[in-house]
Amino acid sequence: MRLAARLAEDLRTVRERDPAARGRLETALVYSGLHAVWAHRVTSRLWRAPGLPRLVGARFVARLLSQVARTATGVEIHPGARLGRRLFIDHGMGTVIGETAVVGDDCTLFHGVTLGGKGGRGLGGRRHPTIEQGVTVGAGAAVLGGVVVGAGSVVGAGAVVTKDVPPGSVATGVPAVARPRRAA
């Protein structure tokens, strides 16, 4: 998908998921989580450009731009992280997404979420979590290390996840304990 189409899709996602989003212009101008995702779409392209990083310092430029975006938005997303389509970061302030994190399509992250490492190199270079499709991570939650949060799961506000969460689960507590989601 072309960058312009992806940015337009990101804007539509915010408008569809946030009842407070009033119009396209207002949403485009005032949603810091959206700005952080847009900045990441650009810095990630620089980070992954074939041949470009070594020739012109594109990785340095990507990191520099990501830090400028962090200062402007309060959301820190490493350019090496992989973000899926239709990611919604609601009230983003304090959200951190580490270098080897992977976030699937249709996920929602609330403010203060950390997708971080536990130190060291991790298995196969994976220091940060994988958040599968359709996951919601509540405010202030931390998902740490090379764990996987299964598709359709919910991580409760303030939870600390250090072990895999099966698909379709709710993970709450410190440390988080996963249980199956109840049908709505």
Distance CA 102, CA 84 (A): 8
Of 1, 4, 18, give the one whose Cα is nearest residue 109: 18
Q: Do 99 and 127 meet the contact criterion of CB atoms below 8 Å apart?
A: yes
Number of domains in the chain: 1
Summarised one tens digit per residue, pLDDT across range 56-65 is: 688 888 999 9
Torsion of CA 60, 64, 69, 121, to 10 degrees: 60
Q: Is the dihedral of CA 144, 145, 147, 151 positive or negative?
A: positive
Compare 53 and 84 and report the one with higher pLDDT: 84
The answer to whether residue 74 scores a pLDDT higher than 70 is yes
At 181 the pLDDT is 86
Range of the domain at 141: 3-180
Whole-prediction pTM value?
0.91
Summarised one tens digit per residue, pLDDT across range 30-61 is: 999 999 999 999 999 989 886 665 566 888 88
Query: What 3 state SS string does the chain have?
Result: CCHHHHHHHHHHHHHHHCCCCCCHHHHHHHCHHHHHHHHHHHHHHHHHCCCHHHHHCHHHHHHHHHHHHHHHHCCEECCCCEECCCCEEECCCCCEECCCCEECCCCEEECCCEEECCCCCCECCECCCEECCCCEECCCCEEECCCEECCCCEECCCCEECCCECCCEEEECCCCEEEECCCC
CATH of the domain at 10: 2.160.10.10
